[in-house]
């Protein structure tokens, strides 16, 4: 698991309706753009890295299981865990 900082957090709307949320996840080594979504397969949230297609399970926001995107803001600590795709067997936590 690793802790990233949320930057450039954006709420995207179409005709006044929220369509998705995006932002940058940053630490001392990495910086990548992500789109956030609800993990339909097992609850919780995932972050999709738009640069390389990797998925990350969001473990916590500021050390709590806060998955209410409307309360997130720039500077929040986002703890993520990579999700490994195992061909033929579906998605498994890596």
pLDDT of residue 85: 63
> Taking a C-beta distance cutoff of 8 angstroms, is the pair 82, 58 a contact?
no
How many domains does one find in the chain?
1
- What distance in Å separates the CA atoms of residue 40 and residue 31, rounded to the nearest whole number? 26
2-26 average pLDDT score: 95
Helix (H, G, I), strand (E, B) or coil at 70: helix
67-78 average pLDDT score: 92
pLDDT above 70: residue 34: yes
Helix then strand then coil, % of the chain, to nearest 5: 5, 60, 35
Helix (H, G, I), strand (E, B) or coil at 69: helix
Structural domain span for residue 34 = 2-93
pLDDT above 70: residue 92: no
The two counts, helices (H) then strands (E), for the chain are 0, 7
């Amino acid at each position: 698991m690793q802790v990233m900082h949320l930057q450039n957090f954006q709420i995207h709307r179409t005709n006044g309706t929220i369509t998705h949320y995006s932002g940058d996840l940053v630490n001392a080594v990495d910086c990548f753009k992500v789109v956030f979504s609800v993990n339909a397969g097992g609850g919780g949230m995932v972050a999709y890295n738009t640069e390389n297609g990797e998925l990350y399970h969001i473990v916590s926001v500021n050390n709590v299981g806060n998955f209410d995107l409307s309360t997130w803001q720039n500077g929040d600590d986002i703890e993520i865990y990579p999700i490994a795709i195992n061909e033929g067997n579906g998605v498994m936590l890596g």
